[in-house]
Amino acid sequence: MDKALFLGFASAAFMVTAHVVYIRAIIQKTAVPNKATWLIIAFNTYIYIANQFASDINNAIWGVVLTSVTVSIIASLSLKYGTSSVNKFDLVVVVIALIGVAAWWALDDPRASVIASAITSIISVLPTLNKLRSQPGSEDTPTFFLAGVAMVIQLVAVEPEFDFVLVPATWMVLNFSIAYLNTRDSRLREPARD
């Protein structure tokens, strides 16, 4: 097995584990996903996979294909258990995300798709970050930490070219940021101890 394939599957194993932990947290109601975030992530995941198939992918992409299944499950669960903050902010985020996807189709350029995917990734977590402001500790920190580790492995697995590193690098930063903010916000909520 070549190194890229092995690391791609290792990254996928971390991501699937993170998603299973999150699915469990959602069902146990210890985490509350944001519907807009997870629907955009699911849609964006499939666009990213399509882009990588169009861009001379290496074997590392197969890990992302595996995680698309768990992302779809989380998006479905978010419809039942997630926050339903259909407000102007979430609607604007969804519209901007759709514009990013439309840019890929309109430009028919894999590099434009990678950039649009990275921008859409950033935009997709804005509703979750907004939710953490009003509902601190409402996410599952281990999920986002494991997902960040998965993206570090993914970065090692892919060729060091812009088309292959931009999206995993973006998600690495986003996942670690959510894990940190959720932990920080949880500590802020804890009562002071004498």
pLDDT (tens digit, 9 = 90+) per residue, 84-111? Answer: 655 677 677 777 777 766 766 666 676 7
What is the radius of gyration, based on Cα positions, of the chain? 17
pLDDT (tens digit, 9 = 90+) per residue, 42-82? Answer: 887 887 677 666 665 555 566 677 788 999 999 999 999 99
pTM: 0.81
pLDDT (tens digit, 9 = 90+) per residue, 126-157? Answer: 889 888 888 889 999 999 999 999 999 989 88
Neighbouring CB atoms inside 10 A of 146's CB total: 23
Span 164-172, mean pLDDT? 89
pLDDT (tens digit, 9 = 90+) per residue, 9-47? Answer: 888 899 999 999 999 999 999 999 999 889 888 887 887
Span 154-163, mean pLDDT? 82
Q: Which of 127, 120, 119, 114 is CA-nearest to residue 178?
A: 127
- In which element (H, E) is residue 46 found? helix 35-54
The whole-number pLDDT of residue 135 equals: 85
Mean pLDDT of the chain: 81
